[in-house]
Structure 1
Amino acid sequence: MDSADGRASPAPSLSKNTENNLQTFYYHRNIITYQICPWRIVDDCGGAFTMGAIGGGVFQSVKGFRNAPVGVRHRLRGSANAVRVRAPQIGGSFAVWGGLFSTIDCGLVRLRGKEDPWNSITSGAMTGAILAARSGPLAMVGSAMMGGILLALIEGFGILLTRYTAQQFQNPSPFVEDPGQLPPKEGQETRGYGQYQ
């Protein structure tokens, strides 16, 4: 059935409000899933670099302090040099891993059309394999397994944590009152209490 301006009307089973809600949902879903991915890759690269630089800086400061010659000045200088030299390298390695992981994850979301834990697990395995490609096929398989297992553990822990916290927010069952504590209804005799009144 056509409307007055010549356009086809929506299916009779859907109300206009439902149709608008569905269009809004699909519009926002596409925006969230597909158009944020380039920025997500950049964001994950930056976050991974920061995490690697800070974590590497802490680790390298301790390592540089322990490996420096005796004396507080020498140890502090050794610690600062180790951080200056190694922390950016570790941060860069983390950034490469994070960027590649996010790129593969966004590609899988686009390819499969849904976002679930399997995307992350597959992305971790593929990232491990790609980064170990220069070391040969055996190293690729080992790194792929490690990446997949690591991401499976992380995703599994996230699912368990989500289920555990979701149980805390469920509505509690209402307390059932003991019928013996309720007052009698009007017009009913009180059983067992007549002799005491």
Structure 2
Amino acid sequence: MGAIGGGIFQAVKGFRNAPSGMSHRMRGSMTAIKTRAPQLGGSFAVWGGLFSMIDCGLVKVRGKEDPWNSITSGAMTGAILAARNGPVAMVGSAAMGGILLALIEGAGILLTRFASSQFPTGPQFAEEPAPSPMPSPSFGDYRQYQ
């Protein structure tokens, strides 16, 4: 996802920043993709892997799957990735990661509620009545031949 999204972004950026002329712009676009997209893809992979590891760990420790796991995972991932830049950067990145994941989780919850209100459930089925006893056959049963 990171390589594809980064590739598209870098293609547009390289196209815009290249000198005029279609061949120059296409070459600039391809150069930007080759130089920058792998770095963005790798960064996304590191972020996604660390996020998933923390999220799964929180699910295991807390014993439940809820939005708090994702929000906490986003904050912790931001803090860990910014650890080399000092505590101030860690706090800022943790806040941004937590806020970003809170917005994503909130949007998911709102979308789910909206979608469920669009398709209301139909009438619930009543409980099935107890089966009635089988009527005796009019022509007799096997006991008459004993």
Match of 2:40 in 1: 90
Match of 2:73 among 120, 123, 127: 123
Q: Which runs of 4+ in 1 moved over 3 A?
A: none
Q: Number of matched residues? A: 123
Q: Which amino acid aligns with 1:148?
A: G
Aligned to 1:110: 60
Aligned mates of 2:27, 2:112 — CA distance in 1: 46
Shift of residue 169, structure 1, vs aligned partner = 2.8
Identity of aligned pairs, percent? 78
2:86 pairs with 1:141: no
Q: TM-score, normalised by structure 1?
A: 0.59
Give 1:67 shift.
Answer: 1.9
Pair 1:155 & 2:102 matched? no
User: TM-score scaled by structure 2?
Assistant: 0.79
Q: In the TM superposition, what is the alpha-carbon distance from 1:170 to its structure 2 partner?
A: 2.4
- In the TM superposition, 1:155-194 aligns within 5 A as 155-171=105-121
170 and 135 in structure 1: CA distance in 2 versus 1, 3 angstrom threshold: same
Paired AA for residue 88 in structure 2: L
TM-superposed CA distance for 1:120, in Å, is 0.3
In structure 1, the gaps of 5 or more residues are: 1-50, 174-197
Shift of 1:172: 6.0
Which runs of no fewer than 5 residues in structure 2 stay unpaired? 124-146
